[in-house]
Amino acid sequence: MKKTAMFILLLFCGMAMAQKKKVTSGDFKNLKGISEYNLVFDYTNLKVDKFETEEEFLADKMKKREEKGTDEDFKKSWFSDREERYEPKFIESFNKRFEGEVKADKKLTSAKYTATVKTTWIYPGYNVGVMRQPSKLNATITVTENGNPGNVVISVDYEKVLGNGAAGFDYNSGYRISEAYAKLAKEFAAEIKKVNK
């Protein structure tokens, strides 16, 4: 029993330490009073897992699925998951923390500020029943003033944001990755809530 408790404690400590954030420009205090954010998601120059480019990752995964005939389906879902899973999950997770006081969405034309979520690295993770690894992502969130994009209000790097489903039912990589976006939004929203107190 003691060994199990110690293992669980170490696991949670490791997960807490795995995620890092670093403000590279501006300050969270600059976000005080901002009630709307236009969201832009950027996946250019994305690296995946141990691969140097997203193209290398896709070539590897598609080759493994070629014989089964699921290679094109994998590629299609890899890209469609962005708009169908990751982005909606980020938006939902962010907005539910504010009860309408602060809002973020794509194409929010009334917003005076844009938050760009630039994903730089994704580890899809895996779940094969008896073994699993959560997804992880690295991203930079940069808030700029609309009409004056050179005015960076804040830029924050997030590393190894974890994503996994409840009770281990996260067999789909798109689902696992979407949970990392939910966690990313939660972390960003928590900092905004602190400065708006």
Q: pLDDT for 93-106, tens place per residue?
A: 999 999 889 999 99
pLDDT at 15 (0 to 100): 47
In a domain, 180, yes or no: yes
pLDDT at 166 (0 to 100): 64
Tell which residue, 177, 187, 150, has the closest CA to residue 86.
177
Higher pLDDT, 138 or 4: 138
Stretch 129-142: mean pLDDT:
92
* Residue 2: partners with Cβ closer than 8 Å, 6 or more residues away: none
In a domain, 1, yes or no: no
pLDDT at 169 (0 to 100): 64
Q: Which range marks the domain in which residue 82 is found?
A: 20-195
Q: What is the mean pLDDT of the chain?
A: 89
In a domain, 12, yes or no: no
Cβ-count burial 84-105 (b if 16+ within 10 Å, e if not): ebbbebbbebbbeeeeeebbbb
| Token pair belonging to 6 | 């110690």
pLDDT at 18 (0 to 100): 57
| Token pair belonging to 161 | 């944001």
Task: Give burial (CB, 10 Å; 0-12/13-18/19+) of 65.
Answer: middle
**Which of 72-76, 78-82, 106-110, 190-194 has the lowest average pLDDT?**
72-76
pLDDT at 171 (0 to 100): 76
Which residues share a beta bridge with 13? Answer: none
In a domain, 46, yes or no: yes
- Indicate the number of domains in the chain: 1
| pLDDT band per the 50, 70, 90 thresholds, residue 179 | very high
In a domain, 2, yes or no: no
State the angle between helix axes of 71-81 and 173-195 in degrees (0 to 180), rounded to the nearest 10.
Answer: 10
| Token pair belonging to 8 | 């669980």
**Which of 46-55, 59-68, 75-84 has the lowest average pLDDT?**
59-68
* Residue 127: partners with Cβ closer than 8 Å, 6 or more residues away: 133, 164, 168, 170, 171, 176
Q: For residue range 2-58, what is the model confidence (pLDDT) as tens digits?
A: 555 444 444 454 444 457 999 999 999 999 999 999 999 999 999 999 999 999 999
In a domain, 10, yes or no: no
**Which of 64-73, 119-128, 150-159, 167-176 has the lowest average pLDDT?**
167-176
| pLDDT band per the 50, 70, 90 thresholds, residue 128 | confident
Helices (H), 2-86: 2-18, 54-66, 71-81
- CATH number assigned to the domain comprising residue 129: 3.40.50
Q: How many angstroms from the chain centroid is the CA of residue 38?
A: 17
